[in-house]
Amino acid sequence: MIDTSGRPIFDEDLAIFREQVRKVFAQHLTPHLDRWEEEGVVDRAFWRACGDAGLLCPQVPQAYGGLDLDYRYNAVIGEELTYAGSTAGITLQSDIVAPYLIHYASEELKQAWLPKMVSGEAIVAIAMTEPGAGSDLQGVRTTARRDGDHYVISGSKTYITNGQSADIVVVVAKTDPDKGAKGISLILVEATREGFRRGRNLDKIGQNSADTSELFFEDVRVPVGNLLGQENQGFVYLMTQLPQERLQIAISGQAGAQRAFDEAVKFTKDRKAFRQTVFDFQNTRFTLANLKAKLQAGWAHLDWCTARHLKGELTAAEASAAKLFHTELQWEVCDAALQLHGGAGYMNEYPIARLWRDARVQRIYGGTSEIMKEVVARSL
């Protein structure tokens, strides 16, 4: 269990909320984790359960069915979800996609979709990555050609979280291909549109229950009213929302690291070798002590970032540094924790195996660690 004592950004209301999150996950998440891993997708019933409990899109204003809460509530959900050992796409919906509709969608789109996103009736994805364009979004080749009162969208996307389940997709497309980044727009596409097609539920080395898909757009016609914000301003919007996206991944990284550490402590105190517990060996205790010190610093840094984000002061460079630090820490802790499990760590019956596998992609999506270093370096 995550120890929240001494974390000044959380108050009693948030402590009560955290207990509610834990109860919901204990009932509706943990018992199904193994089955979802095998099936490659999370049940829609889980989404509805989260919606009923107020765990989806807590930042959405009350006018659209939300709770109009601050980001600390998102952080609690993100911490507890990862600590529970799940990679369900609810944080992508709440932390990453919802802000685009809150800030840039028309009133009609907000009324149509935000209440359903809050209730869990609608699942959302955002389609950025393409076969030939990853961290460099300026390289996207998907186009949205204006044709009267419609856009005609053509192209393909890949590695899209919630892709198999999504009812709507926010698509990053070029509305003016000659302008590079200045020609990018964000357009909402309903999954019922003719020409929209889902590809494979991709076979990954980790995060198996988080469906990740190819998406194809074959002359998909959508009304111009589905444009989020202004035409050709999509890249600006993406950069504006990046701090929260990268903070969310940092939160997941820290919580995943903590769970791996706790698993290692529990296992080494129980496992015997040479007539003593594995924990009693100096190498084990020193390894764990070193990780504990880094986790302590990590939680303090994460709370500092969250506090700055609440005030609207977290910069893109700071968020990138947070994503870099906490996902790299997650990998370090997960790998060390698996090593301390010995051969058991390589067995899928132990939680550390899944935690280790799921951690690997954290240093890739949302901007690779190398790109994070480049962003930070540019701020120097």
Write out the catalytic residue numbers. 245
Nearest CA to 80 among 142, 139, 4? 4
- Structure-token match 């001494």, residue found: 6
CB proximity list for 31: less than 8 A, separation 6 or greater: none
CB atoms within 10 A of CB 249: 25
Q: Which residues contact 132 (CB under 8 A, 6 or more apart)?
A: 139, 141
Instruction: For residue 136, count other CB atoms closer than 10 A to its CB.
Output: 10
Q: Are 24 and 53 in contact (CB under 8 A)?
A: yes
Burial level of 277, CB count in 10 A (0-12/13-18/19+)? middle
- Give SS3 for 318: helix
Q: Give the separation between CA 264 and CA 334, rounded to whole angstroms.
A: 9
169 neighbors 124 (Cβ within 8 angstroms):
yes
The span from the CA of 38 to the CA of 41, in Å, is 8
Nearest-angstrom CA–CA distance, 32 and 194 = 34
Q: Where are the alpha helices (DSSP H) in 65-142?
A: 71-83, 90-91, 98-104, 107-119
Could you tell me which of 228, 132, 140, 232 has the C-alpha nearest to residue 179? Answer: 232
